[in-house]
Amino acid sequence: MTAPKKITVTIDGQQCEGTAGQTILDIASAHQIYIPTLCYLKHLSPWGGCRMCIVEVSGSNRLVPSCATPAADGSTVTTNSGRLQGLRKATLELLFSERNHVCPICPMNKGDCDLQNQAYRSGLDHIELPYLYPALPMDVSGRYFGIDHNRCILCTRCVRACEDMEGVHTLDVAYRGQRNLVIVDLNTTFGESTTCTSCGACVASCPTGALFDKSQAFRGKLNSCQTVKTTCTECPVGCGLLVFTKEDRIVEVFGDLESPVSHGHLCRKGRYETWAEPKPRLTQPLIKGQPATWEAALQYLRAAYAKAPHWQTGLLVSPRVTNETAAALVKLADKFERVGVRVAPNEAALCVQPERAEESLKRMENADAFILVGVDLPRHQGVLAAKVRTTVRKHGAKLLIFGCPPSDLDHYAAVTGHAVSLERAFWKKVSDLLLTVRHPVLLYGPEAMSPVGTTVLEKLIKAFELNQVGQPPVLVPVPTSTNSFGAVAAGLEPVEDVADWIADKPLTFLPILVGDEPDGGARWLRDRQVKSLLEQIECVVVQAAYRSPLTDLATVALPAPAWNEKAGTVTNFEGRELPVRPVLPARGRDEAQVWEELLA
């Protein structure tokens, strides 16, 4: 492939170098030449409809939107003539007169609104046009966000974000002219939408206060917040988070556009469940349900540990643990008879798979076929589901689904095998389909490691071997647990059946390091018999950030740091080590450090 051709454009008298195919705006931005925009977002497909970025190009009377116009080699561009300034001001006046922009009552007021900031830049102290005052609705039926059509400028960033990033196309524009309206599905509400996944990409892309997050509204101006980049630990994808804080509280969480994994996208879990869902925090140690000081709790534990015979001690840790905490626990392993990390059923086999697919998301973008085996992407790894959807929709990639729970992805699937069939006709169809494929990506989860799952995998590999022309499939293991890869790699023993593990040998002393699991470890009690087994153990220690029936049951409960209070790394499904950075002061003590101190 030949290297892209270099071009030169003169912008406002400055010689600027770029490559063929770049837009005028791209080249200008690369040279710190400012052109105002409203409907443009770098990571979304350009639209060119707001007419703020118009520029003059020599040799033509027409004004072009610089965000959507490729730069011509040798051309001369003017970005800020008097004519352009006047036209941009007129555009703003039209926007303000068209709908009801009442700045004083808007959550984006005072610095977070692109429309307002552009108006200030233009010195727009009043408009010359009459106001239309249309009657427009507000929809706040969504759990995490709402939309006020009065503040919408119809820039379609939300429509493009929903399509380009999440791929569900929940939003689009209906009606005509002045009656244009951004609608949800077939003109329903967010609360009633059957397609919206609450990924929040639309809200993050909105330049005004039209789309707004309920948990952020009026709680802090984004432009006055501190920001920290960290990694989401809700699943093993490891998306980048951009966290806004003020005065020891989180004000907003957006996707980090510079994340090499997710490039700014998030799913509902990382985008909202991390911070916008109120969770009861464990704020101080409890001994048998009663509040106690750390000293008292540690003293109690020292005594209980000393009393317990070594062979009756064990330690279980959540797979959300950081690599560093896992390594520290491995060092302490000899202090307990057995130490294990809880993983999902069949996940242990996944952890020891040799492949780690680097740059998986990039390769997914270039795939012409996805084969999903034993994964539940929409519910557990939303960003991967989004990548499948957008690639299928944009490039017509084929989708084959085996042994996955029903989801919206089924709509796109050429083949859906929920019950494994060994019928020849079925596999002939699969085989024929796979013969046409050139860049397949195969995503497989823990369920693919079950006997049934491995059978399917074998059949698929056989089918691929028949394809002499296309590339072999990129194999992408997708665990369910956040850092099972890192924890097992550090040397912790995977435990798939907690009840079995507990019942295996008598226990008198059992710490469970739940850590920052969002339900405080409640799910541990949902496994059969675990509750009654724990009740028989003399000293159960639970370290958790959040209160739950498990912390209630514990002999001693100790506060652990939440996801935004930890420092360390986690290993994502690609095998990448990603940083977890503290966003707020810790309100609990690191799980391993407590034991290092206790057992020193």
In angstroms, give the least distance from the CB of 129 to other proteins: 10
- Measured from the CB atom, the residue of 135 and 419 that comes closer to other proteins is 135
Give yes or no for residue 94 binding other proteins (CB under 8 A).
Answer: no
Residue of the chain from 94, 138, 303, 414 that contacts other proteins (CB under 8 A): 138
Distance CA 508, CA 489 (A): 28
Our CB check for other proteins shows the closer of 123 and 354 to be 123
Q: Is 83 in the site for other proteins (CB under 8 A)?
A: no
59 versus 104: smaller Cβ distance to other proteins: 104
Q: Which residue among 34, 133, 175, 294 contacts other proteins (CB under 8 A)?
A: 133
What residues numbered 266-305 form the site for other proteins, per CB under 8 A?
276, 278
Residue whose C-alpha is closest to residue 508's, from 288, 307, 298, 329: 307
DSSP of 539-568: EEEEEESB--HHHHH-SEEEE---GGG--E
- Nearest CA among 314, 313, 315, 341 for reference residue 326: 341
3-state class (DSSP) for residue 228: strand
Q: What's the residue count for the chain?
A: 600
Number of shown-chain residues binding other proteins (CB under 8 A): 48
DSSP 363-384: HHHT-SEEEEES--HHHH-HHH
Q: What is the smallest separation between the CB atom of 221 and other proteins, expressed in angstroms?
A: 9
- Window 143-172: contact mask with other proteins (x via CB under 8 A): x--x-x------------------------
The rounded distance, in Å, linking the Cα atoms of 113 and 119 is 10
In the bound complex, what is the minimum distance in angstroms from residue 100's beta carbon to other proteins?
A: 7
Min dist CB 133 to other proteins, Å, is 4
Work out whether 116 is an interface residue with other proteins (CB under 8 A).
yes
Q: Does residue 103 bind other proteins (CB under 8 A)?
A: yes
- Of 215 and 431, nearer to other proteins (C-beta) is 215
Interaxial angle between packed helices 114-121 and 82-98, expressed in degrees from 0 to 180 and rounded to the nearest 10: 140
Q: Is 191 in the site for other proteins (CB under 8 A)?
A: yes
535 binds other proteins (CB under 8 A): no
Is residue 370 a contact partner of residue 381, using CB atoms and an 8 Å limit?
no
Binding mask 479-498 for other proteins (x = CB under 8 A): --------------------
Axis crossing angle, helix 591-598 with helix 294-307, rounded to the nearest 10: 60
Give yes or no for a contact between 173 and 181, defined as CB atoms under 8 angstroms apart. Answer: yes
Q: Rank residues 181 and 296 by Cβ distance to other proteins and give the closer one.
A: 181
Site string for other proteins, 233-262 (x = CB under 8 A): -------------xxxx-------------
Contact 161, 44 (CB under 8 A): yes
Q: Is residue 419 near other proteins by the rule CB under 8 A?
A: no
Q: In whole angstroms, how far apart are CA 313 and each of 489, 502, 533, 589?
A: 23, 10, 14, 22
Among 126, 176, 179, 424, binds other proteins (CB under 8 A): 126
- Please name every residue paired with 104 in a beta bridge, in sequence order, or none if there are none: none
Task: Please check whether residue 55 is in contact with residue 84, taking contact to mean a CB–CB distance below 8 angstroms.
Answer: yes
Sheet containing strand 440-444, edge to edge, reads 415-417, 398-402, 369-373, 440-444, 474-477
Q: Rounded distance, CA 277 to CA 424, Å?
A: 49
217 part of the interface to other proteins, by CB under 8 A: yes
Using CB under 8 A, list all residues that contact other proteins.
96, 100, 102-107, 109-110, 116-117, 119-121, 123, 125-128, 130-131, 133-143, 146, 148, 191, 214-215, 217-220, 246-249, 276, 278
